[in-house]
Amino acid sequence: MSMSNALKFYIDGAWVAPATDATLEVINPATEAPYAAIALGTEADVNRAVAAARAAFPDWAARPVAERIAAAKRLLAVYMARYEEMAQAISAEMGAPITWAREAQAYAGQGHLEATIAAAERFEWETMRGPTRILREPVGVCALITPWNWPMNQIMCKVAPALIAGCTVVLKPSEIAPMSGVLFAEMIDAAGLPPGVFNMVNGTGPDVGQVMSGHPDVDMVSFTGSTRAGVIVARTAAETVKRVAQELGGKSPNIVLPDADFAKAVREGTIGVMNNTGQSCDAPTRMLVPAARMAEAMAIAAEAAAGVVVGDPAEEATTMGPLVSALQFEKVQRLIAAGLAEGATLACGGLGKPEGRATGYFVKPTVFGNVTNDMTIAREEIFGPVLSIIGYQTVEEAIAIANDTPYGLAAYLQGEDLAQIRAVARRLRAGSVYVNGPDWDLFAPFGGYKQSGNGREYADWAIHDFTEIKGVVGWG
């Protein structure tokens, strides 16, 4: 990746100089030291990018879908050729252990692109319903605002379906982890899309994201991030009645049913919270166990957490890197302190940095037991490697606790009785329910109920969200 491109924006098929010379240092969270800088965009840059996308839209939308799929396949070839660079970029910008960066973070970009291509090839773009022809047409110019915690996952599961649907886009990656986005724009450039179809402007939420959300020439905004920021995006977009798709926060329950393989369920559930240093919106952060087995659950979880290797992200053996930023470190410390103050039992971890990790935003894998669902650590999204274990008396009570949250992104179920699992799954108010640690399904819908957002991502679900529906009555 060219570091000089980080000081430019990708607009109308070229790397261009920003309107102003404001820059932001990119910090490596493992060293706390800056290692790159990006340009910060302003309204002028957004206007230029949106104008390019608007001009490119009619031609791109009119092209046969096979041609747009072919462009996506070219992008996939470029992505695979620069795959290791992508893994290294993500590891440096957000502190992801290199093995995790390769196998999960960079893989997400590949997986979503492959799944979206496959879904597009069998998508019903036009159908007849009686005398009416139903057409699925591109929404138009789409503003895509993505987060730092799964940079390539979120960039690809917006950009790929939007482009294949015939939309043109302006992307704003997170300014905290922006280097993967710069590399992605280089890949788009190498794939040879028509100028203006894809544009990228770096910058902050207020200076770039909000301007995009309110822009009169933007037809849709797709945002992934915090619920707080999502509310601002939606409010800003409302003035121009544009479509808004959002994937926001979560506080996902993980119900260990009475008949589950208890040790396995607790161990895997604990690791599920520690992966990505706990910085996943769908992490299973509230573990619900039969109350009588609380002490046992705490012991198993503490043992699992002790096996997490916190260390240098560049080392293959590391399984947990630092949090992404000083701000994130302070937030996680504040919430661990709240857990202690409110009387939860600390099973392992706690305040401060792990032994021998004075530099870097490293935190201890932390497990709290005897948590009640009214405690701060059970209500707030911590976005760190902190597990709350909550006891329940009956399965009815477990369902009530699981649903007692403003969020509804994911829920997890562990158990042996499939009939019971299916019955419980139907009653959980969440967009995804994961049964007994399944493999990742890139064709399953992804998105939330309640304050976890609206709209769905992944494969054909995402293509649907980037299309308008037109009925031509009397076609036949």
CA distances from 144 to 103, 224, 469 (A): 25, 9, 21
Residue 2's H or E segment, with its range, is none
Residue type, 350: G
φ, ψ of residue 383 in degrees (nearest 5)? 60, 45
DSSP assignment letter at 354: P
In angstroms, the CA 329 to CA 353 distance is: 10
DSSP assignment letter at 135: E
Residue 53's H or E segment, with its range, is helix 43-62
DSSP assignment letter at 106: I
Q: Which residues does 424 contact at the CB level (< 8 Å), separation at least 6?
A: 255, 257, 395, 398, 399, 413
Q: Which of 93, 175, 247, 457 is catalytic?
A: 247
In angstroms, the CA 443 to CA 100 distance is: 22
Contact 421, 413 (CB under 8 A): yes
Contact 357, 310 (CB under 8 A): yes
Q: Which of 157, 281, 381, 457 is catalytic?
A: 281
Q: Does the annotation count 281 as an active-site position?
A: yes
Q: Does the annotation count 348 as an active-site position?
A: no
Give the residue numbers marked as catalytic.
Answer: 247, 281
